[in-house]
A and B are shown apart, each in its own frame.
Chain A
Amino acid sequence: MCLAVPARVASVDGNLAMVEIQGNRRKVDVTLVSPVEPGQYVLVHAGIALQVLDEEEAEETLRLIAEAMGHA
């Protein structure tokens, strides 16, 4: 129930968006993260999007891991 999954936004229609979750299409409510655009990733939980992916932060996390491994 508490499972939240990342989903790619395919299209947006008002407060609803069609998203792709592991190959499946599903309509989710994007009221809480609007405005969103096709191509962005959102975190979907119980039919609503809770947040938009920050790609720069994702890269930063990966960079920190690589750096830590360099000093391991």
Chain B
Amino acid sequence: MPEITARLRDGDAGRRYIERIRAKVAAWQARASGGAGRPLRLMEVCGTHTVAISRSGLRSLLAGAVDLVSGPGCPVCVTADVEIDRMLAYCDLPGAIVASYGDLLRVPGSAASLAERRAAGADVRVVYSAMDAVSLAGREPGRPVIFLGIGFETTAPATALALLAAGEAGVRNFYVHAVHKLTPPAMRALLDSGGAQIDGFLCPGHVSTVLGEAGFRFLAEEFGLPAAIAGFEPLDILVAVDYLVDAALGLQAVRLENTYGRWVRPEGNLKAREVMDRFFEPCDARWRGLGVIPGSGLALREAHRSFDAAVAFPANVPEPRPRKGCRCGGVLRGEIKPPECVLFGRACTPERPQGPCMVSGEGACAAYYRYSQAE
């Protein structure tokens, strides 16, 4: 494995791929009338891709030929303000322990963040996995432990396994506030809205380990767009971009190409989907920047509602006011790049984030800021 990774970071091969891609796009740009000079627009919908592309410099190395645009791929970033406020409301419950993944802590809600509530005395714990929250509930039987179930198809199976373990062990004080989201419906919504102007998609490699190829075939079959399931090393990304460019320029057939076969089976992970399906059912969900998308969230099934924090501890949370100046919504739709927001790097920095895309390590704003890619 370490040898494979090293070879996928080979700088010489990377430079040659970039030259190859640039030459193909340049030839097309020279031939094209009307849209002449336009770079191809490829969207990634995975926070880890966003970071990998910024860190490796691929975004700037391909600039002018390929515009690598970040989409709604960071789970913390796409979580709506009202959900953050609901999570904060659990801090007020007597005796409650709020268990969260670390990168959610500093996301600003209407009045505070979880980190600020913790500093003010609320019992907010950072967990590495949902299972850790079940163990915590087992150790604190007299107190409700509310796990904030956030994340895409990679994280939802972990929450489902935790629910399974809590059920089997009879842990009655474990609750989940589920805001898990599904990737394909968001991509579909983005395309249906017509504003994204995408020539192809880099599909999320790790989400694909669960969904398999079937999860993303609709991009080619229904929208006629090339799509590539991609890994996260520089050459993984370049191989995927190379295919997408070929397909967008008519040099290869438009299809879903799996370029991450070492981890992604065509059928995905059936066991993961089964355990998700046992506990959750699709529901309409609200996304920051994209609004309510039908069937894009996961709600606990009726039979497991006793675990549902929102049912056990209903909170009347008022509709949050829109954030002044923050353009995370436009960033998540791929309409603007982070530096186009007036707050970026001025009022909004990783130290003092105004919006979630600057908070999360996987957020597009944080990635642009950290790697100084102000193109």
A interface list, Cβ under 8 A from B: 1-4, 6, 8, 29, 31-33, 41, 43, 45-48, 50-51, 53-55, 57-58, 60-62, 64-65, 68-69, 72
Size bin of chain B's contact surface: 35 or more
Chain A residues, CB < 8 A from B75: 1-2
Please determine whether A47 and B262 come into contact, CB atoms closer than 8 angstroms: no
Contacts of B157 in A (CB 8 A): 32, 48, 50
Closest residue of B by beta carbon distance from A50: B209
Q: Which residues on the A side are within 8 Å of B76 (C-beta)?
A: 1
Query: Is B74 located at the chain interface by the 8 A CB criterion?
Result: yes
Query: What are 9 pairs between A and B in contact, CB < 8 Å?
Result: A1-B75, A47-B158, A50-B209, A51-B263, A51-B269, A54-B265, A57-B261, A58-B262, A62-B8
| Structural contact, B20 and A72, CB atoms closer than 8 A | yes
Asked if B272 contacts A50 (CB within 8 A), the reply is yes
Contact A50 B131 (CB under 8 A): no
Chain A positions within 8 Å of B128 at CB level: 46-47
Asked whether B130 lies within 8 Å of A4 as measured between CB atoms, the reply is: no
Min CB gap B64→A, angstroms: 20
The reply on B304 being an interface residue by CB < 8 A is: no
Q: What 1/0 mask marks residues of chain B from 163 to 179 whose CB sits below 8 Å from any chain A CB? A: 00000000000000000
- Chain B interface, DSSP helix/strand/loop, else mixed: helix
- Docked-complex contact A32 and B131, CB < 8 angstroms: no
Tell me the complex Cα distance, A4–B130, Å: 15
B110 at the interface (CB under 8 A from A): no
Contact of A31 (CB < 8 Å), options: B101, B262, B271: B271
Query: In angstroms, how far is the closest chain B Cβ from the Cβ of A5?
Result: 10
Surface stretch bound by A, among B88-96, B113-121, B147-155, B218-226: B147-155
B27 interfacial contact with A, CB 8 Å: no
A interface: dominant SS: mixed
Interchain nearest-CB distance for B20 vs A (Å): 5
Question: In whole angstroms, what is the CA distance A45 to B157 when docked?
Answer: 10
Complex-state Cα separation, A69 to B12, whole angstroms: 10
Complex: how many Å from CA A29 to CA B263?
17
The reply to whether A65 and B239 contact each other, CB–CB distance below 8 Å, is yes
A40 CB to nearest chain B CB (Å):
10
Contact assessment for B161 and A48 in the assembled complex, using a CB-CB cutoff below 8 Å: yes
Q: Using known A-B contacts A1-B75, A1-B360, A51-B269, determine if residue A46 contacts B262 with beta carbons closer than 8 Å.
A: no
Contact among B4, B155, B235, B269 for A1, CB-based, below 8 A: B155
Contact between A1 and B362 (Cβ–Cβ < 8 Å)? yes
Contact B151 A54 (CB under 8 A): no
Closest chain B CB from A21 CB (angstroms): 11
Q: Which residue of B lies closest to A16 (CB)?
A: B131
Give bound CA distance, A60 to B231, whole Å. 14
Q: Which of B4, B104, B155, B210 contacts A46 (CB 8 A)?
A: B155
Whole-angstrom distance between the Cβ of A48 and the nearest chain B Cβ: 5
**Complex contact B16–A47 (CB within 8 A):** no
Partner of B155, one of A45, A58, A64: A45
**Closest chain A CB from B38 CB (angstroms):** 25
Q: Would you call B265 and A64 a contact (CB within 8 A)? A: no
Whether B158 contacts A69 by the Cβ 8 Å rule is: no
Q: Are B103 and A46 in contact (CB under 8 A)?
A: no
**Whole-angstrom CA separation of A43 from B269 in the bound complex:** 12
Q: Which residues of A contact B253 (CB under 8 A)?
A: none
| Interface members, chain B 78-115 (any A CB < 8 Å) | 101-104
Q: Give B370 Cβ to nearest chain A Cβ, in Å.
A: 15
Taking the complex as formed, is B7 at the interface, i.e. its CB lies under 8 A from any CB of chain A?
Answer: yes
Q: Which residue of B lies closest to A4 (CB)?
A: B206
CB–CB A2/B151 < 8 A: yes
A46 with B13: CB separation less than 8 A: no
What chain B residues lie within 8 Å of A33 (beta carbons)?
Answer: 269, 271
Verify if B340 is at the interface (C-beta below 8 Å from A): no
Query: Once the chains bind, are B1 and A61 in contact (CB under 8 Å)?
Result: no
